[in-house]
Amino acid sequence: MPEEYEDPCIFCDIVAGRREAHKIHEDNLTICILDINPLSKGHCLVIPKRHVPWWHELTDEENASLFMVAGIVARKMMHSLHPDFVCMYARGRRIPHTHIFLVPTCSGDVLDRFFNALELFQESTQKLADLRAEESMQDAAELIRSAGTE
């Protein structure tokens, strides 16, 4: 169950049963609900039951549960909604409780157009293009590899 925090958290309230939600699936560590502001029909949020602001701070068991539930629900979406694919991305910035967006997406819809535009932007500027240079890639890889986790 969620830990106590000074600021109210809508996801902790849902986990504790203090707020209503359209539950899709859950296990002992994770819950999946429909997003109240969907980007497409069936847009879901996969949420750890413990209040954790950043996904990389989840325990290994929580991480495994989060992605297992995401996989189960994505397969259910593919079977029932027939999208071209299910877009997945992690959030936690606006609502500081880790959550994964699962968005059934079809070619040309709003999310597909957004990511296509983002990819074009990513490929277009010189500063971002410089990040693809082998020296820059090696530098970034070495910085991340050699960093501690504490």
Ranges of each domain in the chain: 1-106, 107-150
74 within 8 A of 89, measured Cβ to Cβ: no
Whether residue 150 has pLDDT greater than 70: no
Whether residue 88 has pLDDT greater than 50: yes
Give the mean pLDDT of 124-136. 79
Torsion sign over Cα 9, 13, 18, 24: positive
Q: Which helix (H) or strand (E) holds 32?
A: strand 30-34
Residue 22 designated active-site: no
Q: What's the DSSP call for residue 111?
A: H
pTM, two decimals, is: 0.78
Say which range, 3-7, 46-50, 64-68, has the weakest mean pLDDT: 3-7
Q: Which CATH class is domain 1-106?
A: alpha beta
109 within 8 A of 86, measured Cβ to Cβ: no
